[in-house]
Structure 1
Amino acid sequence: MADTAADLVRARDRLLGPRSAAAHRLPAAVLREALVDLHELWLTGHAARSGAGPGIALLAVGGLGRRELVPYADLDLVLVHDGRAPVAAVAERLWYPLWDAGVGLDHSVRTVGEALDIAAADPRTALGLLDARHLAGDAEIGERLASAAREQWRTGVRKRLPELAHSVRDRWSRAGEIAHRAEPDLKHGRGGLRDLGVLAALAHAQLIDRPGGEVADAHTLLLDTRTELRRVARRARDVLRPQDGDEIAALLGLTDRFALARALSGAGRTVAYALDVALRSTGAATPARRVLSALRRAPDRRPLDEGVVLHGTEVALARDADPAKDPGLLLRVAAAAARTGHPMAPGALTRLGESAPEPRAPWPAEVRQDLVALLGAGEGLTDVVEALDRTGLWARLFPEWGAVRDLPPRDAAHVWTVDRHLVQTTVDAARLVTSVARPDLLLLGALLHDLGKGRDRDHSVVGAALATSIGTRLGLPAPDVATLTAVVRHHLLLPHTATRRDIESETTVHRVVETLDGDPLLLDLLHALTEADSLATGPGVWTEWKARLVADLVARCRTAMAGGPLPGPAPLDPAQSALAETTARTGRPDVRMAPAESGTTVTFAARNLPGVLSRAAGVLALNSLEVHAATVSAHAGVAVGVFSVTPRFGSLPDPALLREQFGRAVSGSLPLAEKLAAKERDYGGRVGAVPEPRVLWFDHEAGGAEVVLELRATDRIGLLHSVADALERSGVDIRWARVATLGGAAVDSFCLPVDPAPGWRGAVEAAVLRASR
């Protein structure tokens, strides 16, 4: 038996084992049992030696009480006493050794009455006492508290349901969802382990049945994943990051992090749906006064649509509705629920699931309009699609959905799984329907634009074929099917062109116009979809800078489609020209900062210098400024670099500091590479393996006289400086650069004059790849 808490910690750490022994670890469930036994061995023996005798009992609650102790978890303990026993000395001899050894404790010392009073006021304490389990001391007093706490919960739960529902939803708003999240919180998130505790508490009060096998399987997966996450991290952590996914997946017998993410998303949906149904069935989601009113009289049945009524607080079927004979009834029920924000009644979903037919192709026009009404409902669409998908009804409408259900994203910019991203894009598109002439095609395009993912081919090409099939099945006229197909096929055209090409070039504009067959309707649909898609991707993806670039590109394309003249490249403004002329006269490098429509424009000028781009980019990176676009031109014999920037955090630096640093960079007295490397180390650098950088070439710029080199690499401080320096050392004249940062990835494009020398591209590419690693 361990004599000290330090012995307990050493034994626990030996049990967890080093990370290098991952292949030889105990299964998660066995590890949890071993941890419980180890801690209880120490606690029970130490409690006995500390004098926990008559009138004092040590109880385990929470995870320890349920025998679900995960690595590095706090020990949830209650030292309960009868008010007469000398409990203070016992508590000191129990708690202090654990504190000194660094073992986490969530503890309390209370009489039975005190514990019950606190449980009556605090739902979390009440739920914890439902798992109370005797460890040591007076078994009678421990059982008295456990029995009284359970009885108090059962008899008082009805009054506590609104408070319980509020606390659950407040936790969801802070932690987000397990399902659909790229970085789920396994404990606190919606559909997580805390929700399973609420389900168990409702079942304990006999308000719902004990959850079935599907929920039990979800519980096991969530608990096993949390166990392995903490063992891998070697500390208390509940948020699963993608970089830990492969190792944890292997420990759980899954192929990779994507398989794990998909399994967790399904588990989270199962638990969340079960708790949603439980809260509605118990009346927990209904204000108390409405519950009392419902007890006095039957709920109202208010018509919402043909065959659809609002029954109390749920959307239900009218008494004479016949799902088997009404193919549009399912969509009208769903649209009414999305529009009003009221959930669909479980009974209605069951009847629809049993008898609602799949609409025959081609869909009747009125059924198609019901679908458009559902897609345009806004925020309410999310919960409705979730409910339909859980009951198999969504797949009845869109069999193609199975390939993206719970599919995790492949890049860090996305915060949702692919299926939730499609729904969220549709929600955001609903706010933009007045900006296009065909709102129905915008909403359908939003729902389908990434449907081709998960099939190991270009998702835009696969998605376009699916859009053709779906559009035909929906009964759209042939021209509309063609437009919908083009929307899906080209949904990345505008953002990629705006952020990676020179939109002031006539060649760029005409290429976009030709790709879209000169169709203004398609251009407007893609403009709105670009905004909705970016908003639904994640925070920081749709910026003012990106919105301005896309809008500028769309305006130029619209002018070209109308046959009007395109504006030429924007010349230097008078202030920039004056800066160049001053630099030519004095010979001193100079810097100017000026506010722009989005962000700030920083202009650098230096005489007879081919390396303005790399040196300026290095100075900007030193001052935590993110570059979005850059051009380099000559004026009055001076190289002028114009940069569009925003602060990564904080405020803009003093222009005098930029001027001083740029002057030193030009003279060579400022070692930019060393400074940037040190800055990267200070900010943590990069840990673990990163994807290999890639270079792509795009010809036919400026009539074939220029080429675009596109670099795709993991972003880091000073990346633009390193790559631009490599290009300049290769003797390349950089005309302009576009820089896009998506999560932790960078997509940087450089316009270069074509060099006919043999092997030129290979040498340049090799230099860029070396610089980007």
Structure 2
Amino acid sequence: MKNFLDSQQLSLIRLKHFENQGASLLKSLVPELQQIWANAHHVVDERLMLARPDGLKLARLLATQMDDIISTLLDAITLHVHRNPNPSKAEAFALVATGGYGRHAMAPFSDVDVLFLTPYKQTPWGEQVVESMLYALWDMKLKVGHAVRSADETIVMARSDMTIRTALLESRLVYGDKNLFEQCKKRLEREVFATTAMEFVSAKLQERDQRHKRHGGSRYLVEPNVKDGKGGLRDLHTLFWLAKYSLGTREPEDLIKKSVLSRDAYRRFDRARRFLWTVRLHLHLCRGRAEERVSFDIQPEIAQRMGFAQRGTMRGVERFMKRYFLAAKDVGDMTRIICAALEEEQKKKAPGLVRLLPSFLTMQTKPAEGFRFVNGRIDFDKPSIIETNPTTIIEIFRLSQVHQADIHPKALELLAERLQLINSQLRQDKRANQLFLKILTDADHCENTLRRMNEAGVLGKFLPDFGKIVAMMQFNMYHHYTADEHLIQAVGMLAQIERGLHKEQHPLASELVGRLGSRDVIYLAMFLHDMAKGRDEDHSIAGARIAQKLAPRLGLSAADTETVAWLVRHHLLMSDVAQRRDLSDPKTIADFVSIVHTPARLRYLLVLTVADIRAVGPGVWNGWKGELLRQLYQSAHDAMAGVNPARRQSHAAHRSREQFAQQYPSVQERFLNMHYDSYWTTMDQGTIAAHAELVNQRDSKGSSIAFSSMDDQFRGITRFCILTDDHPGLFSRLTGAVALSGLSVVDAKIFTTTDGLALDTLWIQDERGQAINDASRIKRLEQAVLDSLHGAVILPDELAHRRKKRTKADAFSVASDVSLDNEASQTHTLIEVSARDRLGLLYDISRVLVAQNLRISSAQIATFGEKAVDVLYVRDAFGLKVTNETKMVRIREALLDILQKNAMGMVA
């Protein structure tokens, strides 16, 4: 196996090249050193593929290799290219590694950060050396961060610039005058570091918080940044900087000697550090560049390289990411422990620092019997109390919640060492369960307290079913967080709705949350709804069984237990119906009501659904989803109040006709006669008015086609209407034009008037899931429609060309599925297509259906990350359902065929 170069090999290279003089020396030397660096990458790659690779050790070997390369270059430059047999004192210099390179650990494509340190102002000879050195490194295709400063300038800059000060904190000598470097380092310690601890700690903590915010604010994001994300390497580096600055530690191992970390805590610190470095090295080598984000498309490859294979139902990539999130959790634990130690230390030296660290003012009263405040944090009076009274393990979190005080790191360490005390006896303890229910239903602070319990390992031990989903990643684009973090955020979102923080965005949920029968029911259902993820069976069914077992344990009545179990069993029902069914179809409402039964359950389900979707991740919720849920709620509520859905629609249609006749007397007769009854039962008054204007526009201009559009920012949707001569494939061409315009159809209604015109209404969104408020973009869409109808663009070819550009969804495999349903509607056959989302999917589906002589009446399109579910309501050429078995098989096979061809990149 190839190894890194040893001193003998370096000597041979020097002998080979140093006989040359001047610029020719570097020209011959640089390519060989560049090859040496490439070989070092190859060696790291080989060693990473061995069993149990140590990423930190390999990162250090890379730094050592870079030291050798730089030393060889500087020898060549100072001894041969720019010879200076008798250098003056002013021409002394030290090449100092700073930043990550100074830490003596590098990833393959890390920056090489160096400081050329001089005793005084730079000399002409020194300038030549620096210039030659930098050009040589650049010729090696290295990214170099460099500075040239005298010792005095270095001190001044370190005082005024926090970034420079941090980089110098871990500086080390690579080449040159050792005495110059040591003297500068002593001055830094004495004149800068020793007098600015408070300022440094404050700045670094603030910088860390801002960095976390930039990278998503959670250590459980499913595409984490291994370097700068929460729980990543930068957090570990920050902790060590703070310890080094304030406690005088030189190596991480010193944290044990300083009694900051126990040996067990240090082992977790070290294990997380080495694992994260291993991931980072794999990431750089897989990408062939400096990449720090562990994105979806690279996760399976890294998982495979690191030996994570499928185990049971958990895929290898999910096992790898679970290990990643557990490492990030350990980093969070170290953060709390070290910050508390810094506070204790600085309280002795400078009490003002206490205000800068994440803690509270010292409290004098005891929080409860058996507990005490230590520097504003809650601790156990005696460690032995959790042995004699294990209920205190849960109680300390409730006290932390009530007093809004952190739990002391020593107490957290004690809990980590005694998790075995959380046994079946404690799980059945009445008071412990009462305390947990209070924690869960505290609308002000439930989310943070649940997260603290989770990160302490207590939540998963107290609720073993929760423990099974801790750090569980679902490998898809839809879920932005791990399963456990999603549940915690969902409870937090429910609490925010209850506190009235989302009245504008969620007016209905905000109104209904105060009219629920039991707060315990909604909070527990919210907490349990995804707790059975990752099992062989449907997680909704398995979750309902967990609810039936856990709710009585927490003190809920039999009736409330039944409601919680029902909500968990049906927590996806309202979202699925709203997004995947035609809400104007009376059968849709009747079927939904037959499952929900009561207004009380309907209220619970609406609130649960809104909070669940909001907690999936940023950008998942939009106003259109809210509108669909409100429509479904209102229709179901009316039906439960005794209003027959079909009769309700008939009355609505009659009202629509009357209102229209009053508003538009000049066109009422023609427009009323243009439409069949189904039109009036389907369209709302605003859309009908838009259609009337469309008819006027077409008639007055004498054109064959007319467009109209309206954006609705609250609902996050743009209504796009077209009136033209009807012909087969019109809807398909419309959807193709929408796709080419970079927009998405989320709902559609297709009508043919009595005089043979096509009146199609599409509800569309931009790539962010929002309304299109750019008039020029709508104009481009109208032109795209005209081009597609007049044959100016060949839609299959153009879409195939556009699909060559890779998208995020390409990283996932989604099994295509097609089902036909004749039970969900009394008048139509429903065709539901599930497939990986891609450009022009609805166009392909609708084109197949046209070829099968089917008429599309409406379409509902829902996207869940990389997965799209398109539901189309169709009838045959005679306006009837498709009931012939042979015909149904042929439709299904044709759809699956085009989905497979497009998945393979073929033009259908």
Q: TM-score, normalised by structure 2?
A: 0.77
Q: Deviations over 1:465-488 (max 9, x none)?
A: 111111122121111111111111
The match for 2:337 among 246, 252, 277 is 277
Q: Determine the C-alpha separation between the residues in 2 that align with 1:510 and 1:456.
A: 31
Structure 2 residue 858 is matched with structure 1 residue 736: yes
Q: Determine the C-alpha separation between the residues in 2 that align with 1:360 and 1:264.
A: 30
Q: Determine the C-alpha separation between the residues in 2 that align with 1:293 and 1:400.
A: 39
The match for 2:588 among 504, 508, 530 is 508
1:454 match: secondary structure: coil
Q: Determine the C-alpha separation between the residues in 2 that align with 1:358 and 1:116.
A: 60
Q: 1:327 to 1:483 in 2, by over 3 A?
A: farther
Q: For 1:169-318, list aligned pairs within 5 A.
A: 169-176=209-216, 179-204=219-244, 205-206=247-248, 209-210=255-256, 212-255=266-309, 256-283=316-343, 289=352, 291=354, 299-302=362-365, 312-316=375-379
Question: Any conservation in 1 of the 2:56–2:278 contact (CA below 8 Å)?
Answer: yes
Question: Any conservation in 2 of the 1:712–1:747 contact (CA below 8 Å)?
Answer: yes
Q: Which amino acid aligns with 2:157?
A: I
Q: For 1:219-618, list aligned pairs within 5 A.
A: 219-255=273-309, 256-283=316-343, 289=352, 291=354, 299-302=362-365, 312-316=375-379, 329-338=392-401, 341-349=404-412, 364=430, 370-377=435-442, 380-433=445-498, 434-435=513-514, 436-516=516-596, 518-566=597-645, 567-568=648-649, 569-571=681-683, 573-577=688-692, 579=694, 588-596=704-712, 598=715, 599-618=717-736
Q: Determine the C-alpha separation between the residues in 1 that align with 2:159 and 2:575.
A: 55
1:734 match: secondary structure: strand
Q: 1:561 to 1:308 in 2, by over 3 A?
A: farther
Q: Determine the C-alpha separation between the residues in 2 that align with 1:166 and 1:768.
A: 55
Structure 2: 5+ residue stretches without partners? 1-12, 18-25, 80-86, 310-315, 499-512, 650-680, 876-880, 903-908
Question: Any conservation in 1 of the 2:711–2:773 contact (CA below 8 Å)?
Answer: no
Most deviating of 595-604 and 190-199? 595-604
Q: Deviations over 1:312-350 (max 9, x none)?
A: 432446899966777765555424434664312234446
Q: Deviations over 1:597-647 (max 9, x none)?
A: 622211122323232321211222232322110111222222221111123
Aligned to 1:694: 817
Q: 1:519 to 1:688 in 2, by over 3 A?
A: closer
Aligned to 1:715: 837
Matched-pair identity in %: 23
Q: Deviations over 1:19-70 (max 9, x none)?
A: 9999979955675355334322221022123339773111223333333211
Q: Determine the C-alpha separation between the residues in 2 that align with 1:358 and 1:118.
A: 60
The match for 2:111 among 65, 74, 77 is 74
Q: Which amino acid aligns with 1:114?
A: E
Aligned to 1:625: 743
Aligned to 1:751: 873
Question: Any conservation in 2 of the 1:471–1:481 contact (CA below 8 Å)?
Answer: yes
Aligned to 1:727: 849
The match for 1:139 among 166, 178, 199 is 178
Aligned to 2:671: none
Q: 1:524 to 1:166 in 2, by over 3 A?
A: same
Shift of 1:531: 1.0
Q: Determine the C-alpha separation between the residues in 2 that align with 1:350 and 1:214.
A: 12
Question: Any conservation in 2 of the 1:176–1:185 contact (CA below 8 Å)?
Answer: no
Question: Any conservation in 2 of the 1:615–1:662 contact (CA below 8 Å)?
Answer: yes
1:642 match: secondary structure: strand
Q: 1:347 to 1:453 in 2, by over 3 A?
A: same
Q: Which amino acid aligns with 2:694?
A: L
Structure 2 residue 718 is matched with structure 1 residue 638: no
Question: Any conservation in 2 of the 1:591–1:658 contact (CA below 8 Å)?
Answer: no
1:40 match: secondary structure: helix
Q: Determine the C-alpha separation between the residues in 1 that align with 2:637 and 2:318.
A: 41
Shift of 1:225: 0.4
Q: Determine the C-alpha separation between the residues in 1 that align with 2:761 and 2:847.
A: 17
Q: Deviations over 1:190-235 (max 9, x none)?
A: 2211121122234433478245111101101100100110000001
Q: Which amino acid aligns with 1:38?
A: Q
Shift of 1:545: 0.3
Structure 1: 5+ residue stretches without partners? none
Most deviating of 272-281 and 348-357? 348-357
Question: Any conservation in 2 of the 1:19–1:232 contact (CA below 8 Å)?
Answer: no
2:763 match: secondary structure: strand
Q: Determine the C-alpha separation between the residues in 2 that align with 1:347 and 1:134.
A: 38
Aligned to 1:89: 128
Q: Which amino acid aligns with 1:416?
A: Y
Question: Any conservation in 2 of the 1:338–1:378 contact (CA below 8 Å)?
Answer: no
Question: Any conservation in 2 of the 1:363–1:474 contact (CA below 8 Å)?
Answer: no
Q: 1:721 to 1:305 in 2, by over 3 A?
A: farther
Q: 1:539 to 1:595 in 2, by over 3 A?
A: same
Q: Determine the C-alpha separation between the residues in 1 that align with 2:414 and 2:56.
A: 40
Shift of 1:425: 0.4
Q: Determine the C-alpha separation between the residues in 2 that align with 1:177 and 1:592.
A: 42
Q: Determine the C-alpha separation between the residues in 1 that align with 2:267 and 2:179.
A: 35
Structure 2 residue 136 is matched with structure 1 residue 57: no
Most deviating of 55-64 and 152-161? 152-161
Q: Which amino acid aligns with 2:635?
A: R
1:272 match: secondary structure: helix
Shift of 1:527: 0.8
Q: 1:657 to 1:268 in 2, by over 3 A?
A: closer
Question: Any conservation in 2 of the 1:580–1:605 contact (CA below 8 Å)?
Answer: yes
Q: Determine the C-alpha separation between the residues in 2 that align with 1:575 and 1:164.
A: 57
Q: 1:360 to 1:483 in 2, by over 3 A?
A: farther
Structure 2 residue 132 is matched with structure 1 residue 16: no
Question: Any conservation in 1 of the 2:378–2:407 contact (CA below 8 Å)?
Answer: yes
Q: 1:22 to 1:363 in 2, by over 3 A?
A: closer
Larger radius of gyration, structure 1 or 2? Answer: 2
Q: Determine the C-alpha separation between the residues in 1 that align with 2:402 and 2:893.
A: 56
Question: Any conservation in 2 of the 1:378–1:431 contact (CA below 8 Å)?
Answer: yes
Q: Which amino acid aligns with 1:466?
A: I
Question: Any conservation in 1 of the 2:423–2:462 contact (CA below 8 Å)?
Answer: no
Tell me how large the CA RMSD over aligned residues is. Answer: 3.6
